[in-house]
Amino acid sequence: MKKKVIGLIDSDSGNIGSIKKAILKSIVRKPYKLKIIRTKKDFINVDKIILPGQGAFATLINSLKKKKLYNELLKSITDLSLPYLGICVGMQILASYGHENKKIRGMNIIKGDIVKFSKKKLTIPHMGWNSISIKKENKVFKKKDLHLKDFYFVHSYYFKGVKKEDVTATTNYSINYPSIISKNNIYGVQFHPEKSHKIGFKIINNFILKS
């Protein structure tokens, strides 16, 4: 049986070690293999794509473009409809625009903007454990598995103005904001599943096996 290829993008914007370890754990003795994507050619024969991200919206966008990965990623998840999981900033760049330092255009796959938490006396970044409330189930995110469970967050910006049908789960941090988004073959999580112990591993495993 030919193994399906999980493509993990190394954008140089953060350490991929934790997510790589979680993926390898998930595919042990299963018909999958891991491929690190560092160049445009690495997208060849990939079946699913995971993009972890740390730091700033613009930094990740610019890094992908500098490495000539941006257009290939966009084509893979839109034209080819490959399943995609974006983690933290890897989710945020799916937005129409990011607003860190200056307005910068995102991939415009999920309509909405990435804006900074603005409430006074709110600790920023939002860092630590917080729960999610499932609003819409799909094959990767099930209410019975994940509803009101705690996940690990580190971020100062959130996804604003997302269409209701694209919001899979919300989290409260002075406001209720989308912490999981999904649209067709595309999934995004604001938290870090690779740092969220067994419950986070459940998400990675579901994406690999069920998306």
88: enclosing H helix or E strand: strand 84-88
Would residue 194 show up in a list of annotated catalytic residues for this protein?
Answer: yes
Among residues 39, 46, 97, 101, which one has the least CA distance to residue 71? 39
Catalytic residue among 100, 126, 155, 194: 194
126 as an active site residue: the answer is: no
What string of DSSP letters covers 6-62?
A: EEEE--SSS--HHHHHHHHHHTTTSSEEEEEE-SGGGGTT--EEEEEE-S-HHHHHH
Measured at the alpha carbon of residue 9, what is the angle toward residues 64 and 182, in degrees to the nearest 5? 90
DSSP 81: -
Dihedral, 55, 36, 194, 170 alpha carbons, nearest 10: 60
Number of Cβ within 10 Å of residue 183's Cβ equals: 18
Known catalytic residue: 100?
no
Nearest to 56 by CA among 85, 93, 87: 93
Q: Which entry of 72, 88, 100, 155 is annotated as an active-site residue?
A: 88
Beta-strand pair 150-155/102-105: unpaired
From 100, 126, 192, 197, the catalytic residue: 192
Q: Are 162 and 107 in contact (CB under 8 A)?
A: no
List, by residue number, the catalytic residues: 88, 192, 194
